[in-house]
């Protein structure tokens, strides 16, 4: 049983590689949190642009940072988990940021009782560059449909995360595999009615979306075949193909309007 902790230590981990355009905003989002009990860790994959210079600019506010080659984002995230000494772990990777400076304070201040939860999760703002859209976390019972919340908008209890890290065989959907397997183990998820993060999706390719769907489909099937689940993923493949085709014919202004309305 997890012991309640007054103002628990939160380990916030940023994984980055060659992101000098985005890393500063992420760093400022973390170090400007009004919650005082934060451990900030940056794991860089051996950047060759100006990323390291920006990290050094703020290193007095960073508890630990490292720059070395890794085997991809989930390998780097696992390194962060090994380093973390907090009670809860959050990943706020380059390009992403907390919704506001008081986000962590509003969640963890003054001995909040999370009823022995293993995962805390909340809502999200999706940033498309020219506009943003609110995305509410969905019911945990729909986990088989894909990511029902973003890892940026979640906090994982460190005792559990250090025992269960990310597998490296899924280069895009490793976070989904972690959360789906956590759900299948009947671990406790607790919804926090807060907008926690802003996730930058500008530049995410259609190819990555197809690959993400394919990997999530495989993860779900690995946990037991279901006709309902396979029909749903067939729908996702067809839907993504149609969206890609529509982009070839519709003006970008109309596509942006569709995204704002949440039909993305």
Q: What is the CATH number of the domain that holds 35?
A: 3.90.550.10
| 4 found inside a domain | no
Which residues is 42 bridged to in the sheet? 14, 65
**Boundary of a domain, candidates 176, 202, 228:** 202
Q: Alpha-carbon distance 126 to 96, whole Å?
A: 10
How many angstroms separate the Cα of 205 from the Cα of each of 42, 134, 187, 211?
Answer: 25, 21, 33, 10
**140's tokens:** 């945990």
Same domain as 131, residue 49: yes
| 32 found inside a domain | yes
Residue scoring higher pLDDT (136 or 209): 136
On the question of pLDDT at 46 being above 90, the answer is: yes
| 21 found inside a domain | yes
Into how many domains does the chain fold? 2
Same domain as 153, residue 180: yes
pLDDT at position 263 is 44
**Boundary of a domain, candidates 202, 224, 250:** 202
The per-residue pLDDT of the chain, averaged, comes to 90
Among 54-68, 152-166, 244-258, the least confident range: 244-258
Q: Alpha-carbon distance 224 to 226, whole Å?
A: 6
pLDDT at position 259 is 54
| 108 found inside a domain | yes
Same domain as 152, residue 57: yes
**Boundary of a domain, candidates 161, 180, 202:** 202
Q: What percent of the chain stands above pLDDT 90?
A: 77
Same domain as 238, residue 197: no
Q: Which residues of 186-201 are buried (b: 16+ CB within 10 A; e: fewer)?
A: ebbbebbebbbbbbbb
Mean pLDDT of all residues in 200-214:
77
| 135 found inside a domain | yes
On the question of pLDDT at 219 being above 70, the answer is: yes
Same domain as 161, residue 244: no
Same domain as 215, residue 157: no
Q: Are strands 10-16 and 64-67 parallel, antiparallel or unpaired?
A: unpaired
On the question of pLDDT at 264 being above 50, the answer is: no
Same domain as 138, residue 236: no
Same domain as 144, residue 22: yes
Mean pLDDT of all residues in 75-99:
97
Which residues are CB-contacts of 110 (< 8 A; sequence separation ≥ 6)? Answer: 6, 7
Same domain as 126, residue 251: no
Mean pLDDT of all residues in 62-75:
96
Domain that holds residue 248: 207-260
Q: Alpha-carbon distance 172 to 130, whole Å?
A: 25
């Amino acid at each position: 049983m997890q012991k309640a902790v007054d103002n628990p230590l939160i380990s916030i981990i940023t994984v980055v590689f060659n992101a000098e355009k985005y890393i500063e905003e992420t760093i400022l989002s973390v170090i400007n949190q009004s919650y005082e009990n934060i451990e900030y860790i940056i794991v860089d994959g051996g950047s060759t642009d100006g990323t390291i210079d920006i990290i050094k600019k703020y290193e007095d506010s960073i508890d630990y940072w490292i720059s070395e080659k890794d085997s991809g984002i989930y390998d780097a995230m696992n390194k962060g988990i090994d380093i973390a000494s907090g009670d809860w772990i959050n990943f706020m990777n380059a390009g992403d940021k907390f919704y506001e400076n008081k986000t962590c304070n509003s969640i963890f201040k003054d001995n909040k009782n999370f009823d022995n939860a293993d995962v805390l999760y909340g809502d999200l703002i999706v940033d498309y560059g020219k506009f943003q859209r609110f995305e509410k976390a969905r019911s945990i019972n729909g986990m088989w449909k894909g990511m029902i919340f973003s890892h940026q908008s979640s906090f994982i209890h460190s005792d559990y995360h250090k025992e269960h890290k990310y597998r490296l065989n899924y280069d895009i959907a490793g976070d989904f595999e972690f959360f789906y397997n956590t759900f299948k183990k009947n671990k406790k998820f607790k919804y926090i009615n807060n907008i926690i993060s802003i996730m930058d999706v500008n530049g995410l390719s259609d190819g990555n979306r197809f690959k993400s769907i394919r990997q999530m489909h495989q993860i779900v099937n690995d946990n037991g075949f279901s006709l309902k689940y396979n029909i749903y993923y067939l729908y996702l493949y067809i839907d993504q193909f149609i969206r890609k085709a529509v982009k070839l014919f519709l003006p970008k202004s109309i596509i942006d309007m569709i995204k704002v309305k949440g039909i993305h």
